[in-house]
């Protein structure tokens, strides 16, 4: 997923040199961002909003959650593909 975002948003738009900096930022924000969110949710698991999220997902079966996650991934990949094509068409060759 990281490289899909990298290629569409960074490489085709800004070129190799500038995309290296953006790749560095995107890579570390992706991994450290997920870790930070998980830690924050773990620490605040007794908060009302966290309980609301937990009860929301407990109403669904594992199969329904899997379909939801797959659907979100397909939507993100489709949006990335459309963005890549748009940027590539506007790029001077």
The pLDDT tens digits of the residues spanning 10-24 come to 666 677 777 777 777
Q: Which residues of the chain fall short of a pLDDT of 50?
A: none
pLDDT at 49: 85
Closest Cα to residue 26, out of 43, 45, 11?
A: 11
Q: Where are the domains of the chain?
A: 2-90
Q: Say what the pTM is.
A: 0.57
Q: 80 with 4: CB under 8 angstroms?
A: yes
Residues with Cβ within 8 Å of 60's Cβ and at least 6 positions away in sequence, in order, are 68
pLDDT at position 8 is 59
CA–CA dist 56, 71 (Å, integer): 18
What is the CA 75 to chain-centroid distance, rounded? Answer: 11
């Amino acid at each position: 997923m990281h490289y899909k975002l990298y290629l569409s948003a960074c490489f085709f738009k800004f070129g190799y040199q500038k995309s290296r900096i953006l790749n560095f930022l995107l890579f570390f924000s992706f991994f450290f961002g997920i870790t930070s969110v998980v830690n924050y949710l773990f620490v605040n698991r007794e908060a009302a909003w966290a309980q609301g999220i937990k009860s929301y997902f407990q109403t669904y079966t594992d199969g329904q959650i899997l379909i939801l996650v797959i659907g979100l991934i397909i939507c993100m990949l489709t949006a990335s593909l459309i963005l890549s094509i748009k940027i590539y068409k506007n790029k001077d060759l």
